[in-house]
Amino acid sequence: MATVTAAERRAEAKRAYDAYVAACPSRKLLDTLSDKWVSLVLNALADGSKRYSDLARTIAGVSQKMLTQTLRGLERDGLVTRTVTAAVPVRVDYRLTSLGESLLPLMAAIKQWAESHIDDVEAARLRYDADSENSP
């Protein structure tokens, strides 16, 4: 890589995806990944396929509308597969694709970080709010 001209570097920089650019597709993808329901759904599918009702039970507080909407988006983006088993009653299973599984460790890490650092954050909030009372 010794002979990389400045022009080549400029061309590369121009071509590479950059999530800081508002119009860049990767920025929009980052926006969708930064959805509260996406991270929870992906984590919920960590250990194999789950039925729709299983997901709804695991992720407390999600409305069926948002769950369906989130799953549709993930399916469209190739992160989960949707399998309908014709039976009575109908059975629908969701499972991570290999692409989804490549993302899972990152989402799991975020979720875990939130659960293990919430104490630090709440302590910081108390300090911040206490300071705010004295200034105005």
Partner DNA sequence: CGGGATCCTCCCTGATACTG
Partner DNA sequence: CAGTATCAGGGAGGATCCCG
Contact present, 52 and 92 (Cβ < 8 Å): yes
What is the spatial distance between Cα 71 and Cα 55, in angstroms, rounded to a whole number?
10
136 binds DNA (CB under 7 A): no
Burial tier of 126 (Cβ tally within 10 Å: 0-12, 13-18, 19+): exposed
68 binds DNA (CB under 7 A): yes
Q: For binding to its own copies (CB under 8 A), which residues are involved?
A: 16-22, 25-27, 29-31, 33-36, 38-40, 43-44, 58-61, 75-79, 99, 102-103, 106-107, 109-111, 113-118, 120-125, 127-129
* DSSP code of residue 77: T
Our CA angle for 26, 35, 91, nearest 5°, is: 110
State the nearest-atom distance from the C-beta of 119 to DNA, in Å.
Answer: 24
In the bound state with DNA, the residue whose beta carbon lies nearer, of 63 and 112, is 63
Burial tier of 102 (Cβ tally within 10 Å: 0-12, 13-18, 19+): exposed
- Interface stretch with DNA, choices 4-12, 62-70, 110-118, 120-128 (CB under 7 A): 62-70
36 binds DNA (CB under 7 A): yes
Query: Of the candidates 27, 46, 51, 111, which one interacts with DNA according to CB under 7 A?
Result: 51
